[in-house]
């Protein structure tokens, strides 16, 4: 079964949606606020992923390539924010950033014409969703799934 870049991007957004809530929770009073700042940064970074390129049917590789770069950049920012927070946020952010990097790699492969790489992304979607939920828990996100602006 082949997965289109559009389907892969949609699945990524579903996994990331777990993180897009409104607050980082009550533990910030104990951690001195660095956790809240880091989680707010992660939330802000995820909101930028709603601006992914829509595939152009006449040049599908251009959109996949542009989106791959966005995911790579987001992964770096999320990883950095997690390091700022430390503890469970750092480990969860690292795992989720690794998922974003894997998605970027898949999109880059699709952009270069390797259509078989799309099936590799299927196994990582459930992992990304779980890692997103773990990061949401580590940040103390509440209030359901809110993604985008």
Q: Which residues of the chain have pLDDT under 70?
A: 1-33, 51-60, 115-123, 143-149
Residues whose CB is less than 8 angstroms from the CB of residue 35 and which lie 6 or more positions away in sequence, other chains included: 24, 27, 28, 85, 87, 89, 139
Predicted local confidence at residue 125, as pLDDT: 78
**Distance between CA atoms of residues 42 and 38, nearest Å:** 6
Q: CA separation (Å) from 13 to 70, 90, 93, 95?
A: 13, 21, 16, 16
pLDDT in tens, 123-142: 577 888 889 899 999 998 87
pTM: 0.71
* pLDDT for res 33: 67
Q: Can you list the alpha helix ranges (DSSP code H) found in the chain?
A: 5-17, 28-31, 34-48, 60-85, 87-111, 120-139
Give the Cβ contact number of residue 129 at 10 Å: 18
> For the chain, which residues make up each domain, given as ranges?
18-139
Do residues 46 and 74 touch, judged by C-beta distance below 8 A? Answer: yes
CA–CA dist 6, 25 (Å, integer): 33
């Amino acid at each position: 079964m082949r997965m289109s870049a559009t389907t892969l991007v949609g699945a990524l957004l579903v996994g990331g949606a777990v993180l897009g809530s409104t607050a980082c929770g009550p533990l910030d009073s104990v951690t001195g606020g660095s956790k809240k700042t880091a989680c707010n940064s992660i939330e802000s970074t995820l909101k930028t992923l709603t601006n992914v390129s829509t595939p152009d049917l006449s040049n599908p590789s251009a959109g996949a390539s542009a989106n791959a770069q966005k995911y790579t950049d987001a992964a770096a920012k999320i990883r950095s924010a997690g390091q700022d927070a430390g503890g469970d946020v750092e480990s969860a952010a690292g795992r989720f950033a690794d998922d974003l990097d894997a998605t970027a790699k898949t999109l880059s492969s699709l952009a270069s014409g390797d259509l078989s790489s799309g099936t590799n992304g299927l196994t990582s979607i459930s992992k990304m969703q779980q890692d997103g939920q773990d990061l949401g828990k580590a940040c103390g996100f509440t209030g359901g799934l809110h993604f985008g602006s």
